[in-house]
Every structure is written in structure tokens, then in C-alpha cells.
Amino acid sequence: MKRYRAPKLIEGEIKFQRGKVDGYVDMCIFYGDSVPRHDRALIMNTFCFERRNSYNEFDKSLVDELEARGYDLDTLKFSIKKKTTSEERENE
């Protein structure tokens, strides 16, 4: 049985990967301090929700499409960090 652990995060970082919520395995989003709600929603919508095509019909979500094509979602990991300003870089 695979163990799912919350990843370590830094401020301004978002990670999207397989995890456990209330005992059920699902795709989860993890985020560090100062990540706005709308940024987290953008990532979840992009990966997990159906997309409308040019015929005004709905296509599978990216996650569902990858699974249908035979990809192992346990290996799917996405991570992104906020840019640092030049002032922050100088203070490091």
C-alpha cells in the first residue's frame, strides 16, 4: 500500500500531486504561505475540471485524459514557485 505524505513547501510555492484526503486517494494541491486562493483555483481547474471545446461540448479533464491514456497518476507532480524580486534576491 502506497503511503502519501504532504510535501515540504516554501513561501509562495504550489505543488499538485496525488495525496490522501479524508482517507480517500485523490489529486491534491499543497501550498505555502502567501499563495492566493485564486492561484490555487487556477491550478485545480486546469488539471481537474472538464474543458469546453470549440463545438461547445465538454472534453475530459487533463487528469482524466492522462489516466485514460494509461499514465500512472501517482507519478504526476507539478510544482511552481513565485518569482522573487531583485530586492529579495539581494537580501539573501
- Whether 91 is covered by a domain: the verdict is no
The residue segments making up the domain with residue 54 are 13-76
Is residue 51, in this structure, part of any structural domain at all?
A: yes
In a domain, 82, yes or no: no
* pLDDT tens, N- to C-terminus, the chain (92 residues): 688 888 999 999 999 999 988 889 999 999 999 999 999 999 999 999 998 888 989 999 999 999 999 999 999 999 999 988 765 666 66
For the four alpha carbons of 24, 25, 28 and 31, in that order, the dihedral sign comes to: positive
Tell me whether residue 88 is in a domain.
no
Q: What is the pTM of this model?
A: 0.78
Q: How many domains does the chain have?
A: 1
> Contact at 8 Å (CB) between 4 and 25?
yes
